[in-house]
Structure 1
Amino acid sequence: MQTLDLSLLRHFIVIARCGSISLAAGEVGRTQSALSMQMQRLEEQLGRTLLHRTGSGVRLTRAGESLIAHAETLLAQHDDMVMELSGASLRGSVSLGCTEDYASAFLPDLLGSFCAAYPDVNLQLVCAPSTDLRPLLHQRQLDMALVSLPSPDMSGAIRKEQLVWVAHEAEPHLLDAPVVPLALAAPNTLDHRAACAAMDVIHRRYRVAYASNSLAGLLAIARSGHALSVLTQSAVPEDLYVVTDRLPPLPAIGITLEVADQRSSAAASALADHIRSQLPVL
């Protein structure tokens, strides 16, 4: 029976998450050729091809997908055992995905308190729309992600957030226009769909004049006074106004924390527990 080197499994997990040997090499501090040789040795030990090499990077074979689930569990158990027996503080790396508005509204408090409690845990943050974060979770390129749910009453929701109309002035002159200009995120996002549906219900004419998946982009357009936008209420900055008059009400949505693997490392479990306990009360 083959005895696998745990460092090979660690590097295999990093490659799977990065989707690229060259990117993984920079993360683990090895050369690309050295990391490629390690993966060849791991494949030889197991007698299976684990990675499909492509022009844009690598992707897991079916054997690779099977291995990564076992490898993550094995390494998490190994690290927990070493930490418990050595009396060491919590260590490790955790990757967290989050939408930009949640990052702006919640992460300063969430990560500030977590990092103070666990200073030896390394955090990696990826900001993207919920629709982009879920595939990264499925591919195990993220340990967990704060994502949106269509309703705060859905199973798994840990916080309710109200969607609101925002503008650069309390009574925007844009509402006098026969066709109201809007600045929205991508059409598959909850805020885009909610804004269009609300306007359709009252038969108010509108056009999506500006589109941006960047929170900074939407804020810039709203600040310019050329369009109304939609944000979660917690993410509205002090220099913009929440507009309620002459506009249809928007729904509330839910926030949930989705994890890639329930059998996660001690560091990932600690962060997940911290978010679930603190986010509802922020």
Structure 2
Amino acid sequence: MKTPLDLRLLATFVQVARSGSISAAALQVGRTQSAVTMQMQKLEQLCGQGLLHRGGTGVRLTSGGERLLDYAERMLSIHDEAVSAFSSDGLRGTIVYGSPEDYLIAFFPTLLKSFGRMHPDVEIRVVAAPTDQLRKLLHLKQIDIGLVSVPTWTEADDIVRTEPLVWVGWQPTLALHNFGAVLPLALSASNTMDHKAACDAMARAGLRYRISQASNSLAGLIGVTRSGLAISVMTEKAVPPDLHILGAPLPPLPSLGVEIAYPEVEPSAATRAFGNHIRQLLPSL
């Protein structure tokens, strides 16, 4: 292959690879589905081999496509870095940022406002999801950077702060809730760290409980707690001012580590700058 590769074709190819869908990639790059299909056919002609397996449920990469994806991501990252280095206008580009809902509510407005003042030409798109889903999206390279939860005993270089888990109720003490001997809990899904931490703490304390509500939506947990039908577990920063953090006789809960996570690709200059901004600002929020 002697014909130079068009970076626009490579950028579209990366979106197709990340989304696993021609139609989804078309929405992301602002082109029609047929235009993206033609771009992929042209790229395959330039490379002299098929890059995509096309099926009824989407597309997946051939072995040649996997090889090209690695080159394409590195080329686009270096291109963005070079443009930023020699541009008087500063950083440009789009970042897809993933975070649990409670961290979005507690931290993202301040992070976005301060970063946006410095880099107004960087667009940040937001994906709200629990940590386990964010890790899947990172693995699939569908988000560029994520703020995820890890156990505090984890040896991770990118832990930037710790966030306490707390019991939350609509009354200032547990006794005022009049729940009786079996405590109703409103928790996130069973595979999340806060759910497991709450159940483990109740078991160690020998307290009887039942899961009355399960939701990965922070708004849902807040709504149930406000109704007075259950107590919930949240990160301390996410507790609304009209609800109360509860203490004894409820057992203590652990803290979570907050970690910056990236896909296994070279981040763009804009993504690196946003990650560094989070690292510098988040500990003080």
1:71 paired to 2:75 = no
1:12 paired to 2:4 = no
Task: Indicate how the Cα distance of structure 1 residues 19 and 175 shifts in structure 2: closer, same or farther if over 3 A, else same.
Answer: farther
Aligned to 1:196: 199
Native 8 Å contact 1:152 1:253 kept in 2: no
Residue-by-residue CA offset, 1:69-128 (whole Å, 9 max, x unaligned): 221111121222233334332101111100000001000111110011100001111000
Shift of 1:181: 0.5
Aligned to 1:253: 256
Native 8 Å contact 1:174 1:181 kept in 2: no
Task: Note the 1:41-80 alignment, pairs <5 A.
Answer: 41-80=42-81
Aligned to 2:103: 102
Shift of 1:22: 1.0
Shift of 1:13: 1.3
Aligned to 2:29: 28
Shift of 1:162: 0.4
Shift of 1:174: 4.0
1:184 paired to 2:199 = no
Native 8 Å contact 1:154 1:254 kept in 2: no
Aligned to 2:220: 217
Shift of 1:152: 5.5
Structure 2: gaps (5+ residues): none
Letter in 2 for 1:112: K
Q: For the residues of structure 2 that align with 1:192 and 1:168, how far apart are their CA atoms?
A: 19
Aligned to 2:173: 171
Structure 1: gaps (5+ residues): none
Aligned to 1:135: 136
Native 8 Å contact 2:182 2:208 kept in 1: yes
1:235 paired to 2:235 = no
Aligned to 1:162: 164
When normalised by structure 2's length, the TM-score is: 0.94
Pairwise CA RMSD: 1.6
Q: For the residues of structure 1 that align with 2:274 and 2:265, how far apart are their CA atoms?
A: 13
What percentage of aligned pairs have identical amino acids?
49
Native 8 Å contact 2:163 2:256 kept in 1: yes
Q: SS of 2:41's equivalent?
A: helix
**The 10-residue stretch of structure 1 (98-107 or 84-93) with the greater mean CA deviation from structure 2:** 84-93
Q: Which runs of 4 or more aligned residues in structure 1 lie more than 3 Å from their structure 2 counterparts after TM superposition?
A: 172-176
Residue-by-residue CA offset, 1:163-221 (whole Å, 9 max, x unaligned): 00001111244464121100111111000000000000011110111011111111111
Residue-by-residue CA offset, 1:256-279 (whole Å, 9 max, x unaligned): 000114622111111011011111
Q: SS of 1:158's equivalent?
A: strand
Q: For the residues of structure 2 that align with 1:264 and 1:270, how far apart are their CA atoms?
A: 10
Aligned to 2:38: 37
**The 10-residue stretch of structure 1 (261-270 or 114-123) with the greater mean CA deviation from structure 2:** 261-270
Aligned to 1:112: 113
Shift of 1:153: 5.5
Count of residue correspondences: 282
**The 10-residue stretch of structure 1 (107-116 or 147-156) with the greater mean CA deviation from structure 2:** 147-156
